[in-house]
Amino acid sequence: MTAPSPLPPEVDVPQVVVVTGVMAAGKSTVSQLLAERFSRAVHLRGDVFRRFVVSGRVEMSPQGDDEAERQLALRHTIAARTADSYVEAGFTVVVQDLFVGETLAPFLDQVRSRPVSLVMLAPDVAVVMQRESERTKVGYGDLWSVRDFDHMVRTKTPRIGLWLDSSQQTPDETVDEVVRRLAEARVA
């Protein structure tokens, strides 16, 4: 396997790249590989901030819960501030989390650093179902169905940035395409 080619200088600058998509879309893998392409980069996993809450944490559900939504907004605020701090220190930040539906715009509004790009990983539902069945981590289960969550993401999330059907791609191929099309992913 050959090493990825270095990024062009106009791409390898401190910036924020947001990677989102449905659960089991490949966000963690793609985000890590993408961060590794930059000369100075951070892979910021927004879900880490959720796991920092050791008591009183409320998980999101399809029925909605005011406290769960408040905690999600808090985690997104912390992620935006953390991303800005790293960019100010000269790093590119690949922020990975569930920024979908009505939560996307408020998160992007909080990020002060520029440029900001958004990559929505949008593989086919059947592919997501297969990936979910092969994972040790469970994102769906009794509360969420892959089909319903995918439908919500596709119909309630603003169509901005780069929406990428990664169904037939390896993670490296997905990252190659993201790098090639990063200018299309710019949202701010």
Residues 179, 185: Cα–Cα separation, whole Å: 10
pLDDT tens per residue across span 45-95:
999 999 999 999 998 877 778 999 999 999 999 999 999 999 999 999 999
Over range 139-166, report the average pLDDT: 89
pLDDT of residue 136: 77
Give the pLDDT of residue 99. 95
Residue type, 136: T
Domain boundaries, the chain: 16-185
Distance CA 23, CA 139 (A): 6
Each residue's pLDDT tens digit, 86-136: 999 999 999 999 999 999 999 999 999 999 999 999 999 999 989 888 877
CATH-assigned architecture of domain 16-185: 3-Layer(aba) Sandwich (3.40)
Kindly tell me if the per-residue pLDDT of 140 is higher than 70: no
Please state, in angstroms and rounded to a whole number, the distance separating the CA atoms of residues 100 and 95.
13
